[in-house]
Amino acid sequence: MKMGTESNMTCLPHNKDKLMKYLITLCDQNEVDVIIIISDIDGSSVISDATQKVINKNVSENIATLISELELKLESIFNRCMCGVRNKTVLLNISGSLGKGKICLEQIETQILKIIDLITPSETALNDDNVQEDIKNGTNCSKKSYIEVIEAQKLIRDAIIQSNEEIESECVRVQDAYGRILLKDIYSKYNVPSFKASAKHGYAIKANDKKNIKKILRAGTSSLKPGTCIWVKTGAPIPHGATAVVQVENTKEVIKECDDNNTDDIEEEEKEIEIIIQPKEGENIRPIGSERKIGEKILDKYTRIGPVEIGLLASCGYKEVKVIGLPTIGILSIGNKLGESGKILRLKHVYDGNRLTLITLLKQEGFDALDCGIVNYKLITNIICKIEEALVKVNVLVIASSTNERDLLKHILQEYFKATIYFDCVNVKPGKSTIYAPCTLHTCNRKKYLLCLSGNPANVLIAAHLFLLPLLNQMRRNNLEMPVIIPACLMDTYIKHSRPSYKWTYLQWDVDERDTYPQACNMENRDSNLLKSHNANALLMLPAASNSEISLKPGTFVPALFLDSK
């Protein structure tokens, strides 16, 4: 058995008590950062027992996570291994040859350094009240690392724009294109109308015909002769030979006297009109292509397709249209006390409503999302596998978890998926712990976007409006699909938070009052956090508290993010 402290090595017999004494002495002196124990297979059980007795059992969740990951990596190399800490020293016990141990150290150097960094904090960190308070609250955010919501949204957009990836597209039928975004400019395939059309209800005539009395020809007659006219409706084709349309109000019916009983034939075939005001050549006639000419641009690229756009496309001869592909989205929940809805709930567990909440919100906004299920945060390998499995299928993965797993998630995303953390601490309530971490999946060389939201049922919906929907709309180039911000008058007192906050509200307009500003109804008095969002149609944007002002009184105007209730 060999043990090294820096460049020193010591050989000891396979004696549990002597080994324990040696390790305790060495660790308590705090003179070494790492002790590596290399033993043969026969003595590995003795070494493991001694190491197990020496290491600290109560370590932070972050350290325990790193130790578990390190042991997992070592298990693929050695038959038996153990990792732990005592005071400020890392103990590593492996069974195998010295040469194999040296090779192993090169592979696990990064993980060991991370553990050392956590068990030997700097003096500055220990004395920083802000950091200590944040650690107590389950996050390592400091006020200096905060970014504002508007900055976070800009980072979300910039990451997509800077990726320079080709925009995915698909062809859809025009009748199925509602809500989609056009990929390219659209040009008319035909002249609209494709014929000369009447601009008014009236009679089609020859304008150069000097006769004021004209015989009305039957509908369907293909051409006009001098002294005749044909009744046409607005938009109807102009008969061949007609050069103007006289409006009904500029004519009067000529009544003929008849002595016989053949009145039906007279009314049908010999009805006449007198033109009171003669129209000019081309008057009340729309030329071919008067609405849209062939080759004329009718819609710009990145236009959101609504009812009017669908009508334009159909009238210009389009059966299918090319639109920007919708991003594929996955929703994953992480937690060790979450249950599936509809199944028997275990003791001290709660049903997971976050996934269905987000999936339904996305469906409302025109997106389909994949339900990636629940994974226990204590099973790190399962988390990694779940994320990896989801990223193969989707472009955007939304992870809902408690703030307690925040640091674990950051480590997994950075270490295993080489993700870049664009932000992980937003100056907002709720949503402070939101993490935005794009990465490149090497198996397909595609950019993937990970967004980690708070697992609180009320908070996850607010965070989705602030961060998830802007992300998805940017991906499908729907920059116009942004909530409208309007001033709203508070009807109740609101206590400010130390951070800017968003609160659910219902905006209502008083039809009996002249004031055009909406009134914001307080929904904070509801018992359930999730019920606060029920029937809400806006989010109040409340400023942070200050020394001079900690509350907002009724009658105060604040911005409100108006959310269209669909």
Nearest to 542 by CA among 479, 495, 492: 495
Q: In which element (H, E) is residue 495 found? A: strand 494-495
Note the pLDDT of residue 11: 73
Q: Are strands 213-216 and 272-275 parallel, antiparallel or unpaired?
A: antiparallel
How far apart are the C-alpha atoms of 274 and 318, rounded to whole Å?
Answer: 44
Helix, strand, or coil here: 454? strand
Q: How many helices (H) and strands (E) does the chain have?
A: 14, 31
What φ, ψ does residue 494 adopt, rounded to 5°?
Answer: -120, 130
Widest pairwise Cα distance in the chain: 140
Computed on alpha carbons and rounded to an integer, the radius of gyration of the chain in Å comes to: 38
Collapsed DSSP state (helix, strand, coil) of residue 247: strand
Q: What is the dihedral of CA 331, 334, 335, 339, to 10 degrees?
A: 30
At residue 92, the pLDDT reads: 83
Residues in contact with 181: Cβ distance below 8 Å, sequence separation at least 6, in sequence order: 302, 303, 304, 305, 323, 324, 476, 477, 478
Q: Is 439 helix (H, G, I), strand (E, B) or coil?
A: strand
CA-wise closest residue to 51 among 3, 8, 97: 3
**CA gap 314, 324 in Å, rounded:** 19
Alpha carbon of 16 to those of 21, 46, 405: distances in Å?
9, 6, 37
Q: What is the H or E stretch that residue 398 is in?
A: strand 396-401
Task: Classify residue 311 by burial, with Cβ atoms within 10 Å: 0-12, 13-18, 19+.
Answer: exposed
Digitized pLDDT (tens) for each residue of the chain, 566 residues in all: 444 444 566 777 677 788 888 888 888 776 778 888 877 655 567 777 888 888 887 777 778 878 887 877 777 666 667 888 888 888 888 766 666 666 666 677 777 887 887 777 543 333 334 433 443 444 456 555 789 999 999 999 999 988 888 889 999 999 999 999 999 999 999 999 999 999 999 999 998 887 889 999 987 777 788 899 999 999 999 999 999 999 999 999 988 766 555 555 555 557 899 999 999 999 999 999 999 999 999 999 999 999 999 999 999 999 999 999 999 999 999 998 899 988 888 888 899 999 999 999 999 999 999 999 999 887 888 999 999 999 999 999 999 998 777 888 999 999 999 999 999 999 999 999 999 999 998 777 889 999 999 988 878 999 999 999 999 999 988 876 677 899 999 999 999 999 999 999 999 987 766 668 899 988 866 545 566 677 889 999 999 998 888 999 999 999 999 986 55
pLDDT at residue 513 in the model: 63
Residue 60: half-sphere exposure toward Cβ, Cα within 13 Å: 18
Helix (H) or strand (E) holding 131: helix 129-136
Task: Tell me the torsion sign for CA atoms 398, 402, 406, 411.
Answer: negative
Q: Would you say 270 and 258 are in contact if contact means Cβ atoms under 8 Å apart?
A: no
DSSP H stretches of helix in 138-195 = 149-163
- Compute the distance between CA of residue 419 and CA of residue 388 in angstroms, rounded to an integer: 12
Q: What 8-state DSSP symbol labels residue 6?
A: T
Q: Is 423 left (phi over 0), alpha (psi -120 to 50) or beta?
A: beta
- Note whether 258 and 272 are within 8 A (CB): no
Residues in the chain: 566
Backbone angles phi, psi at 446, to 5 degrees: -120, 145
Backbone angles phi, psi at 197, to 5 degrees: -125, 150
**Structure confidence at residue 103 (pLDDT):** 62
Helical (H) or strand (E) element with 330: strand 329-334
231 forms beta bridges with 203
Residue 457, preceding bond cis, omega within 30 degrees?
A: no
Backbone angles phi, psi at 21, to 5 degrees: -60, -40
Cα–Cα distance for residue pair 531/506, rounded to 1 Å: 12
Judge whether 553 and 493 are in contact, CB under 8 Å: yes
Instruction: Specify whether the CB–CB gap between 354 and 455 falls below 8 A.
Output: yes
